[in-house]
Chain A
């Protein structure tokens, strides 16, 4: 091993933390290397110096610890209680705001908050009304379309009936003409028969 490698192991060697081949290698190296021996000596001196620091004398009173713990617990309970009160107040405030529905307006650099007068037409109602208007318009359009369709249908039927009536009237006129013609024929026939009858009577007499 090189001096550098050995010196990296010296702190562990000083604390007897080296075992096996590493411990043997360090021991062998130190026998032949004055520089590494000096390094090891300075580290041992440092180790010894660390022991000079006195241990502090501290006495902890277990009762004080338990008292501190109970105080801390009481503080935590108070903290939670305050938090709960604050949350309740916040909830109550929100409920009041929801109930009162204040109007806040900013105009001309003035902030106006009105608590008493409710808005003439609350936005949701207007919205609902708008929806309702929309529905009514749509329904009216549907009804109008239905009426138009019904009118068209009625008009169509009316046309058909008029045509039927006109046809009937034409047939009636034709029948009347036929009837008149036949009546005339009958009149003529009756005149002929009458004349023939009366002529025979006159001839007999």
Chain B
């Protein structure tokens, strides 16, 4: 984070190379985060570029308090919410049932499972999806999530429990996982 701090100071002073370094360092995490929030079929590359564009515009207002990751995630989250609002009808196209087997192991089944998980994620209501993505994919604890989402950790824990349960139920409905699996 200290290294980020130095880069960010240079970026704030107009150093284009520092900005380029920040982009290279954060582009994959940001793209991954966005893909899981908005779905794999969304224009993740464009959204990722938009995140850095917004970050570049707002970098003058950023105060380095060791939470650049939180700040960048918040920008990405707002963009994902905007994109979600624009494409509210899009998930319908992803809702096709994916016939597959439990515990897919071969590449084809794995691909089907990945598609099913992506579809189930997109189907989750945004508040549940956000908390699941931040906890599972971004590996944030509930205090970090509280800073990104601006909500109490206790609320986020409740949402997370509901989100994981719904994912499980949806995957079961798609044929992945079985009732009473051990």
Contact = CB atoms under 8 A, between A and B. Distances in A.
A47 B114 CA distance: 12
Interface residues of A, number: 36
A192 interface: no
A65 B56 contact: yes
Interface string A44-71: 0111011011111111111111101100
Interface stretch (B30-38, B69-77, B83-91): B30-38
A12 B161 contact: yes
A41 B178 CA distance: 10
A72 B57 CA distance: 11
Interface in B9-24: 16, 19-20, 23-24
**Interface residue tally of chain B, by bracket?**
35 or more
B180 interface: yes
B147 interface: no
Nearest to A58: B31
B72 to A, nearest CB: 12
A60 B45 contact: yes
Contact of B114 (A41, A43, A52, A59): A52
Given A12-B161, A41-B181, A66 B48 contact: no
B146 interface: no
Contacts of A12: 157, 160-161
Contacts of B176: 49
Given A8-B161, A49-B113, A64 B177 contact: no
21 contacts: A11-B163, A12-B161, A17-B142, A38-B181, A42-B177, A45-B181, A50-B132, A50-B137, A50-B167, A53-B114, A53-B117, A55-B28, A55-B32, A56-B35, A60-B23, A62-B16, A62-B20, A62-B52, A65-B56, A66-B19, A68-B49
5 smallest beta-carbon distances between A and B, as pairs: A58-B31, A62-B20, A11-B161, A46-B168, A11-B164
